[in-house]
Amino acid sequence: MDQLTAEPGRGRRSPDTPRRRLLDTGRDRRYERLEAALRLYRAGLFLCLLALVVLILAMLFGQRRHIGRAILVDGKVVCFTDSKSAAEQVRLALLSGPQGPLAGATFRERWTEEDRPMGDDQPLSVQDAAARLKPVLTVLVPATAISVEGHPLVLLSDRDTAEKTLEVLKSRFLGSGEKLVEPQRLANRVELQDLQVPPSHVLTDVAQAVERLLKGSTESYPYVVKREDTLERIAEQFAVSRAELLAATPALRRGLPPVGKTLEIKVTVPAVRVVTIKEVTKEQVYTVPPKQTLTATLAQGEKRSLTSGQPGRKRTRLKQTWENDKLVRSVVLQTEIAEAAVPGEVLVGQKTGPDLTPAR
């Protein structure tokens, strides 16, 4: 009974023969070899997956090490920093002056930032990045220009300062106690314009701005020739006549240069002329001729002063029109005697012929 084994599909057991035991042993060995191969495959697969993970992490880590914050000017990479915050510090450093950040400051060029591979470049410090960017960037700040005949003559920080400058300019030509007949005005076409300009062009001293307004200036402006340009069109843009444009820019006398060439257009900005119409009172000393008394006690034509006169004072009210320091018109409004002059008395001789007075 113990030597019998169950055959597959049957209810009775097959005899346990040596051949049967040999078959079972071979089968077990094959199973063991398969299990060992499976374990080896699993270990190999695990090692491959582990190597793949390590490789991916190494690639990501290596790429991360070479990613920097690129600062671009007009679409061209100028330098790299190691982070977005460092790039922002660079921008703020460039937009600051000796007293701190410049209000409303911006760049004339287009500033952009983005993360990108650095390649062979290295990230710069904030100081080094600012030094590299400074030559290729133009910092602009808001300013108010006092323009004369369409040309900016003085640049000030804001409109309030510009208006104060014009008031100081006008008050310079109105003396203490003088009465205005009508409000002062400017003979030129003077306008206030809001512009974006480099900080070094902005004046902070009102007195210096007034002096520049009184002197005028000759300004040079770069201009790139365009395809549709004509002499008349360029002159119109700079608010000058064609003759003035040719006189100030000799290069245009031979005709328009090629498209794309840069010209230096010189424009003469006249001094500001303040028209002041005021009432002025002047006091003058005057005298009157002496009173003459004829006498026969003196020879013909001989004069002898009896009393000396006293000068008087008279006031004259004038309406005067000035352009800056130049008097262009004066009209007498009224003259009145403040203190009457007292004439002196003079004896005038009328005696003719020999002296007929009897001797005593």
Q: To which residue do tokens 């760049």 refer?
A: 107
- Structural domain contains residue 52: no
SS3 for 332?
A: strand
Within 10 Å of residue 256's Cβ, how many Cβ atoms? 15
pLDDT value of position 9 = 47
Length of the chain equals: 360
Which tens digits make up the pLDDT trace of 154-166? 999 999 999 999 9
> 283: domain CATH number?
2.20.230.10
Classify residue 54: in a domain, yes or no.
Answer: no
Does residue 94 carry a pLDDT above 60? Answer: yes
98 is a domain residue: yes
Average pLDDT over residues 344-360: 69
pLDDT digits (tens, 9 = 90+) for 223-281: 888 888 888 888 877 767 888 888 888 888 888 888 888 888 887 778 899 999 999 88
Whether residue 239 contacts residue 285, with contact meaning beta carbons closer than 8 Å, is answered with no
Q: Looking at the domain assignment, is residue 196 inside a domain? A: yes
> What mean pLDDT value characterizes the chain?
85
Cβ(130)–Cβ(107) under 8 Å? no
pLDDT at 180 over 80: yes
What pLDDT was estimated at residue 349? 87
Question: For residue 76, what are its two tokens?
Answer: 């061209």
As a whole number of angstroms, the longest Cα–Cα distance in the chain is 218
* The residue to which tokens 């030597």 are assigned: 3
Nearest in space to 268 (alpha carbons), one of 157, 151, 129: 151
Are 171 and 178 contacting, i.e. CB atoms less than 8 angstroms apart? Answer: no
Q: Which residue segment(s) compose the domain that 178 sits in?
A: 140-215
Query: Can you give the pTM of this predicted structure?
Result: 0.62
77, 102, 137 - which closes a domain = 137
- Count how many domains the chain has: 4
pLDDT at 26: 66
Cβ atoms within 10 Å, residue 130: 19
pLDDT at 2: 43
**What does the alpha-carbon distance between residue 278 and residue 275 come to, in Å, rounded to a whole number?**
10
What is the band of 19 on the pLDDT scale with cuts at 50, 70, 90? low
C-alpha–C-alpha distance, residues 98 and 100, integer Å: 6
Verify that 282 and 340 share a domain, yes or no.
yes
Query: Residue 171's pLDDT is what?
Result: 93
Q: Within 10 A of 259 (CB to CB), how many other CB atoms are there?
A: 11
Report the C-alpha gap between 79 and 333 in whole angstroms. Answer: 75
